Amino acid sequence: MSLDPERESNGIKIIHRAIELGVNYFDTADLYNKGLNETLVGKALQSKRKEVVLATKAGNQWRPDGSGWDWNPGKAYIIKAVEESLRRLQTDYIDLYQLHGGTIEDPIDETIEAFEHLKQSGKILHYGISSIRPNVIREYVKRSGIVSVMMQYSLLDRRPEESVLTLLQENNIGVLIRGSLAQGLLVGKTPKDYLGYTAAEIKIAAEAVNICVKKDRTATQTALRYVLQHPAVTAAVVGVSKLEQLEEVAGTLGTPTLQAEEMKILQDSIPAKIYTEHR
């Protein structure tokens, strides 16, 4: 999502370097840049398709006049959308196809039928959802064959720790984390109000991250370590737009794990919130 389609060569260079560094999961969506992000990713991965796990998403339908998009989790739309994604990605199958959102009012069984149909036809290998809503996640866990859930999780958004992460771990469903740097607020961005926290509270949490920085672990890597150390988490999906950002993010797995006292410093720096909606 962070790659600029107008700087295609830079995006391709970043993706190829990521593969060299051991990154093998690439996540896009038909929504990003009105499909141009898929086109860029497809071009970059064309010669390396077998080396990677390629994921994209559907459910947000662009209006004909380009003024915005509408939510559409219907079977007919999803089956049509996958064809466009396959074309843009220059591939004949998608490793992980995800519903890009979801509400409890959706025709969930119809959506599941669409993904199962695409799986049976070989156009996708697996499917999952991208959602932070516990009530939606529970329904898909009960009623579908999802293999993953993408959700927001960071030191500044510990709501998934309340119950969702445990539920997914118990059901052997992978957890893909986005927003682990909290829009950069944990790693140097000017503090601002965020998810019900005040700028002053955000500043304290960012200072705690800095306290836990080591000679061989930066603030970014420390914030990523926090989410990666939860046993339910499969991967952190991090957007980068520069090679130096990529090098730092990809180097996280070579850094020291957070010790118990460091986890306590981080968790004590800001009170955890719980979900107030979509429970």
Look at residue 47 and tell me if it is in a domain.
yes
Determine, yes or no, domain membership for 81.
Answer: yes
Distance of CA 139 to the CA centre of its chain: 20
Residue-level length of the chain: 279
Per-residue pLDDT, 89: 98
Is 200 a domain residue? no
Q: Is the dihedral of CA 72, 28, 253, 255 positive or negative?
A: negative
At 34 the pLDDT is: 81
Domain limits at 74? 5-146
Q: In this structure, is residue 171 part of a structural domain?
A: no
How far is Cα of residue 242 from the mean position of the Cα atoms in its chain? Answer: 18
Question: Cβ distance 100 to 130 under 8 Å?
Answer: yes
- How many domains is the chain built from? 1
Query: Residue 95 domain-assigned?
Result: yes
Helices (H), the chain: 8-20, 36-45, 75-89, 108-120, 134-143, 164-170, 199-211, 219-228, 243-250, 260-268
What are the b/e assignments for 181-192, b being 16+ CB within 10 Å?
bbeebbbeeebe
Q: What parts of the chain have a pLDDT lower than 70?
A: none
Q: What pLDDT is recorded for position 67?
A: 87
- Residue 122 is part of a domain; what is its CATH number? 3.20.20.100
Catalytic (active-site) positions: 32
Q: What is the pLDDT of residue 3?
A: 87
